[in-house]
Amino acid sequence: VLSDLDFSNWAKNIQERTESALDRLMPASKIAPTKLHEAMRYATMGGGKRVRALLAHAAGEFCSADAAKIDMAAAAVEMIHAYSLVHDDMPCMDDDDLRRGKPSCHKQFDDATALLVGDALQSLAFQTLATPNLLPEKHQLEMVHLLAVASGSRGMAGGQAIDLASVGQTLSQTELEYMHIHKTGALIRAATLLGSYCAHHQDQTRTHALDQYAQNIGLAFQVVDDILDAEADTATLGKTAGKDADNNKPTYVTILGLTQAKALAQDLYNQAITPLQNYGNQATRLIELAQFITNRGF
């Protein structure tokens, strides 16, 4: 069983099953329109840490959900995430040529294709959550609603709008936190809660603990992303290092400096795992994953 694996083998297993779920759910490249399908696959498969899929599975396991159901939720969130990266890299946004160690989607294909990849991945994510007979319909509707809110103007897309409006500005820590909670935290939170929604029985106390965990780890994730942008190199990241400074973006590093930004990531980690303390061994995977997110080097 998955729960017997050590963290890195567990993660590898989830990454592989996420890859095959995405492969199953996305139209083959030979199906028309072939360029669009090829580009969707290019942007979604064969890369990424799959942190959102890992969160969905860790949360789902915590709530005793069936792994095959969690695969669908995990794939849906990874589709939204991949779409957000494709658009994030476009010249009208961060103008980044490298993603996951390969040319960004708009460089490998073209701008119009990259736009359409985002459109189509977004639709496919909701199509996936709405798959007939996946779960009790009430749960599926809640899941669609949750992912829609998390990815829309009050979630990821809104956060991206704030990010672009903040270029060259000096934000307060509260304003920066607001931006990060939306552009990154919202989808991380949704990934976690979607995993728990795959369970047949919803335990309010558990869901609440997971929500606290997810909100803190979601913010920690973007704090670490900002730190890595400033500290790591392009080869390790698989995306252009130093891009935030080049683009004049306010980040946790510009506001707090590296040392305090790292301390904040640790604080957020502690706050994330505190609500799980009552659950003993059952929370081990979630805690290991929080450690991975906070201490990763890529």
Binding site for ligand IPE (CB under 6 A): 48-49, 51, 81, 84-85, 88, 94, 96, 100, 156, 160, 183-184, 222, 225, 229, 239
Are 180 and 222 within 8 A, CB to CB? yes
156 touches which of Mg ion, ligand IPE, none (CB within 5 to 8 A by kind)? ligand IPE
CB of 134 to ligand IPE, least distance (A): 24
Q: Indicate the residue whose CB is closest to ligand IPE.
A: 48
Q: In 165-190, which positions are buried (b, 16+ CB within 10 angstroms) versus exposed (e)? A: ebeeeebeeeebbbbbbbbbbbbbbb
Selected from 94, 181, 197, 224, the binder of Mg ion by CB under 5 A is: 94
Cβ nearer to ligand IPE, comparing 48 with 250: 48
Nearest residue to the partner Mg ion, using Cβ: 94
What is the rounded CA–CA span in Å between residue 63 and residue 218? 20
Q: Judged by CB under 5 A, how many residues of this single chain contact Mg ion?
A: 4
Q: Whose Cβ is closer to Mg ion: residue 128's or residue 160's?
A: 160
177 is a contact residue toward Mg ion (CB under 5 A): no
Instruction: Specify the residue, 19 or 225, whose C-beta has the smaller distance to Mg ion.
Output: 225
Distance CA 48, CA 101 (A): 9
Q: Which does 294 bind (CB under 5 to 8 A by kind): ligand IPE, Mg ion, none?
A: none
Instruction: Note whether 186 and 55 are within 8 A (CB).
Output: no
Report which secondary-structure segment, H or E, holds 102: strand 102-103
Tell me if residue 99 falls in helix, strand or coil: strand
- For residue 63, give the nearest of 237, 269, 255, 204 by alpha carbon: 204
Query: Residues 190 to 229: which contact Mg ion by CB under 5 A?
Result: 225, 229
**Measured from the CB atom, is 61 or 96 closer to ligand IPE?**
96
Instruction: Determine the 3-state secondary structure of 63 from DSSP.
Output: coil
Residues at the interface with Mg ion (CB under 5 A):
88, 94, 225, 229
